[in-house]
Amino acid sequence: MFKIAPLNNQFDHLIHNKINNKTKPLGALGQLELIALQLVKILSQTIKSDVEFTAFKAEICNPTLVVFAGDHGIAAQGVSIAPSEVTAQMVANFVAGGAAINIFCQQLGWQLEVVDCGILEKSPASKVHDCRLGNITAPLNLHMAMSTAQVKQGFSNAKSLVLQLKQQGCNTLAMGEMGIGNTTSAAAIMAAILNLPVTQCVGRGTGVSDELIARKINVVEQALQLHKAHLADPIALLAAVGGFEIVHITGAMLAAAEQGMAVIVDGFICSAAAMVAIKINPIVKEYLIFAHCSNEQGHQQMLSKLEVKPLLQLDLRLGEGTGAALSLPLLQAALGFYNHMASFADAGVEQVV
């Protein structure tokens, strides 16, 4: 479903020269220089010649953050501090503008979109995109969470949404999630892909007790044993232990990369989706920028295994895409210095090597 072009290395020498000739010591802007390199490569994919590239100015246009919501059947087994009904309540809060992600998007300049991927109570709000795959997934330790047909439909939904955003001028896409029980699903995905003990993958989510941690570990171990025949294939893995929102996030990452968009990855749940996306098409990783390392156990190890360095470390564990939202000023700063900072020649400053 997704044909992703590898990033073009044709202009790497021009990008490196431009960064290195800014009025600063070599490498002095640290990770911002790496982000500038990646962003410029992503956003210049349609450029063909050196002359055209020299005149090109990479800019973040209509940055959009999409919160995907889905309910998990596993929540009924007490793996979270909240019942599944809270998912729909939070979707209503997103629509009303009262959540943390609303505030951050308003402050920082993101367009916010909310997607119902399959929650217990369908949102009546016209502002919510209807991409429902059902009301709730099946309990992943007792059944397949969903069918492979639902996974493929979720990918199709995500692709259509991304195309719509692209047509509206978006070239930078971030994703967030809402779904009671989804850290359990993400932990199962992590354990399956990285072949790690479940105890290293299951964390406290939004703040569960030691008793609930033990329950989550048991649930994930049951699920992995039940679905061991399905864990190697990424589509079957999503069907076995995924969530409706995780399916859509995975599909949206692949679709955004296909459209040449920068993809900003949020925390533990979205990073689990990113791992699945990379298994489906490894080239997608070239388009992924990891916003932050969350306070969820396993996320740091997940990022380490992916060999990526996140922009922020703020001990966040909220979800909703909050970490991704907070990264936007850094992305804009990276392109700001790249586009506008004087070179040594421009400023008449002697270059020190």
Residues annotated as catalytic are 320
* CA separation, residue 159 to residues 2, 51, 105, 143, 350 (Å): 9, 33, 23, 27, 50
Q: How far apart are the first and last CA of the chain?
A: 48
* CA separation, residue 195 to residues 191, 219, 266 (Å): 5, 17, 22
d(CA 256, CA 92): 26
Beta carbons within 8 Å of 274's beta carbon, 6+ residues apart? 250, 253, 265, 284, 285, 288, 290, 306
- CA angle (69 as vertex; 63, 74 as ends), nearest 5: 145
Q: Name the nearest CA neighbour of 266 among 84, 42, 104, 51.
A: 104
DSSP characters over 107-142: HHT-EEEEEEEE-SS----TTEEE--S-SSPPPTTT
Q: Outline where DSSP puts E strands in the chain.
A: 64-70, 111-118, 128-130, 172-178, 262-265, 288-290
Half-sphere exposure of 43 (CA within 13 A, CB side): 23
d(CA 175, CA 320): 8
Contact 41, 16 (CB under 8 A): no
Residue located via tokens 């009025």: 23
Residue type, 41: K
